[in-house]
Amino acid sequence: MADFILYSIVIPVYRSEKVVERTVETILEVAANHSFSFEIILVNDGSPDNSWGVVEELAKKHIEVRSVNLLKNYGQHTAVYCGIAISKGDYIITMDDDMQNPPSEIPKLIAKIQEGYDLIFAEFVQKMHPGFRKLGTRMISYLNKEIFDKPKDLKLTNFRIFNRSTADRLLDYRTNYPYIPGLLLMSAGKMGNVITEHHSREIGNSNYTLVRILTLVARLLFNYSSYPLKLVSGSGIVISILSFLAGFAYILKSIFTGVHVEGWTTLVALISFLCGFILIMLGVMGEYLARILNQQTVSKPYQVREIVD
């Protein structure tokens, strides 16, 4: 008799009252056709529309569905983190709520990870995203490679599957600013991709705005790297060297030519520039200190209002 395997499908929900039910119903059909044992965890991330009302009814209607209502909007990565934390499956699948990750492709993820992988990302044949998001994706991909040592040929997407031991290691990493792809890269051993379809969004607009992408970039830089500190430190060294050389040049000019440099305007401009740079340095260090304080005073990155099984 084959071992019983439970799959947990985690879906963050935000502004998707018109499409999340279809997503769930399609997953149920796919699971029934392939005889998968599964649970669906819908995490409402403080959505301002009626998304919670919809997912609450889905939990009451289907025994396989568990719906979680977060206290407020924490962001997609925190919502996924919450879903992983309460999941019970031997394998966890994460996907979007808008049918862009086709549920019909789930069997491909399952088949691939059973080849001995810890983590599998869907690699889309063609991404159906707007231009600014593709640019943001390239920027984040670069940071993933530099900060988390992402393999060059590995493609990262929100549609992925990983085993329970990887999930447990991910949850052991204490952070109030979870970034799921990075945590997975740090927690998994053998990783790979499988080719899947990616559909265009049928209803509504993408929740990924330019502001959200820039916020994610800031989260990566300040919570998982020391690059901002290295940048201001390097800039400080360069400015110090240039200032020393400029001062030395003025001294030599005064000694050998007898010309005394007045330069009040230059002096004021230089002092103003250096003071501004010092304030920037203090701001960067203050940002790190504020996040460290938050890390020490907050027990977990989210609060749950209610759970409906």
136 or 223, greater pLDDT:
223
On whether residue 72 sits in a domain, the answer given is yes
Are 157 and 119 found together in one domain? yes
Are 165 and 178 found together in one domain? yes
- Among 189, 224, 259, the domain boundary falls at 224
**Per-residue pLDDT for 221 more than 90?**
no
Are 45 and 12 found together in one domain? yes
On whether residue 302 sits in a domain, the answer given is no
User: DSSP for the chain?
Assistant: -PPP-EEEEEEEESS-TTTHHHHHHHHHHHHHHHT-EEEEEEEE-S-SSSHHHHHHHHHHH-TTEEEEEESS---HHHHHHHHHHH---SEEEE--SSSSS-GGGHHHHHHHHTTT-SEEEEEESS----HHHHHHHHHHHHHHHHHH---TT----S-EEEEHHHHHHHHHS--SS--HHHHHHHH-SSEEEEEE--PPP-SS--S--HHHHHHHHHHHHHHH--HHHHHHHHHHHHHHHHHHHHHHHHHHHHHHH-PPP--HHHHHHHHHHHHHHHHHHHHHHHHHHHHHHHHHH-SSS--EEEEE-
CATH number at residue 96: 3.90.550.10
Are 250 and 114 found together in one domain? no
Of 27-31, 119-123, 127-131, 159-163, the one with minimum mean pLDDT is 127-131
**Per-residue pLDDT for 2 more than 60?**
no
Q: How far apart are alpha carbons 187 and 180 in whole angstroms?
A: 10
**Predicted local confidence at residue 290, as pLDDT:** 76
Are 183 and 249 found together in one domain? no
Of 72-76, 88-92, 189-193, 237-241, the one with minimum mean pLDDT is 237-241
**Structural domains in the chain (count):** 2
- Among 224, 247, 263, the domain boundary falls at 224
Q: How far apart are alpha carbons 84 and 9 in whole angstroms?
A: 9
Are 149 and 275 found together in one domain? no
Domain with 123, as residue range(s), is 7-224
Are 11 and 159 found together in one domain? yes
pLDDT digits (tens, 9 = 90+) for 104-151: 999 999 999 999 999 999 999 876 555 556 677 788 888 999 999 999
On whether residue 303 sits in a domain, the answer given is no
